[in-house]
Amino acid sequence: MSIKEQYGAHLNSYFLETVLMILERMMPDQQKLMKKGRGRLIHVSDFVKEDNGRLIVQDEDGRVVKDARCITYPGANGDAWWDHTQLLAQVDKAIAIFEEAHFDCVALFVFDHSSAHASLAPDALRAFDMNKSNGGKQRKQRDTVIPMNSPCHEVRGKLQKMTTESGNAKGLKQTLKERGFNVGKMKT
């Protein structure tokens, strides 16, 4: 009995297709089911569509010529661990494939909850990484725009530099003060 016949009722077609693709890439003499223990990791990241389950481009014969799926084997002596840089590169690739496959459509990409999907750029604005005061051991963050819901109407929508005139990273106290918050009684 094939894997598809044995497990097909319990696995969605996308997952089953991924497992079958991995098994097909194995050499005939390789052990398909690993013994219990510390085996090799596999990470599969893909984009799923409503019509055929996968974000791909096929040729006239139905062969896949472009595929948004990324498969990595992370760990010691393997590929790098999946991170936001790889995810963003995959998103760029997925957009290009979608535009080629569906040139007259607009895409909506929805991401599940993964720590890689919540990653931020190295210079992203993040309050938890800020000191109370300017300077010190804190990373420099990119300039930002003050939100339209700031309590101070005069600063809404304006650019906020995240470094002082001397080039030091701004602290949380000055950042909040510039946004119109009362920081007079701010404690450490």
Kindly state the percentage of the chain with pLDDT values over 90.
13
pTM: 0.47
Amino acid (1-letter code) at residue 94: A
pLDDT by residue (tens digit) across 75-122? Answer: 778 888 888 788 889 999 999 999 998 888 888 887 765 665 566 677
DSSP state of 184: T
What is the predicted pLDDT for the residue at 1?
52
Q: What are phi and psi of 65, to 5 degrees?
A: -110, -25
- pLDDT band of residue 177 (cuts 50, 70, 90) is confident
- Are residues 125 and 111 in contact, defined by beta-carbon separation less than 8 angstroms? no
The helix (run of H) or strand (run of E) holding residue 56 is strand 56-58
Angstrom CA distances, 143 to 14, 140, 162, stand at 42, 9, 5
Domain ranges of the chain: 38-101, 121-181
Distance separating alpha carbons of residues 151 and 181, to the nearest angstrom = 7
Q: Measured between alpha carbons, how far is 25 from 121 in angstroms, rounded to an integer?
A: 35
Q: What is the pLDDT of residue 20?
A: 66
Q: Do the Cβ atoms of 68 and 101 come closer than 8 Å?
A: no
How many CB atoms are closer than 10 A to CB 34? 9
Amino acid at 27: M
